[in-house]
Structure 1
Amino acid sequence: MILDTVMTTAHVLTGALWVGSVVFVAGVVLPTALDGSLDAEPLETFADKLVFGSRAASVIMFFTGGHLAGTRYTFDLLMNESRGHLVLAMLVLWLVLTALVEIGRSRLVDGLREKRVRTPAENAADIFRAAAVVGILLLVDAGLLASGITLY
């Protein structure tokens, strides 16, 4: 029981921090870079720290989520119940968020190494906006799971 509580808390906290950081980059950091208020070096530092945090969050989410799914769900429940479908949707969203952050960082850093800011920020902005939307969907999914709602 204590292990499940620790795993749930770590899972939710990590997810919230991860999504929050992606939303912050999409909503604050990149618009600031687009208006010319950030130089290449600090923006590259933001991008590197975000991708490091995203990778760490992915690992933590994999282990904590794997534990929770393994102790709370059977294969039959995952495949045939709405709560199981929410868990599977969360897994897909988690993979998509991880990929989008990696792709966005790659697009951003490629141009920053040439000491350009606005064009790389513009190239990465849509990817990070999509990542922010996926992250918000992850939190909505988590809220539905936490509420105990049955969709169908």
Structure 2
Amino acid sequence: MKTAPKPLKVIGAEGSCLLLEGGIRLIDGTSSWWSVCHGYQHPYIINKMQQQLNRLSHVMFAGIAHQPAYELAEKIIKFSPEGLNKVFFADSGSVAVEIAMKMAVQYWRNNGNKRKNKFVCFKNGYHGDTMGALSLNDPESWIAKAFNNYAPQQFCVDLPF
């Protein structure tokens, strides 16, 4: 495996910028993998986080939940198309894809069909960097090629538009 370059040392962040050693400011173009789309140190978000930390810092959603999760789920359902009234929380996009894949396979197994275990993915698509999600990335992408002997091959098609 190639040696990665030495990582940049981040000492802080504010707004849409990362602050590096030596006073260098970089615009965080990926918003820390899209998790800080409202910027770093946003006062409203900091306040809400502090309120939640004072009540309950973390609970794993494995058959249990808490009031803020119920409230967020209701808001998501209001924005969702008719008939979509269930919410499953995951800790990342890759994990969400993995869980969706497992749920789909489990659905077919529960209905007596063990052969339905392949998925359709799109050329130029990216669905994550965990092993199952890797199998849904475009097989010609660098990340899929690096792991194509480990992830199952799926059906890759052109985008319909």
TM-score by length of 1: 0.29
Bigger relative contact order, structure 1 or 2 (CA pairs below 8 A, ≥6 apart): 1
The structure with the greater share of residues assigned to strand is 2
Question: Whose radius of gyration is greater, 1 or 2?
Answer: 2
The structure with the greater share of residues assigned to helix is 1
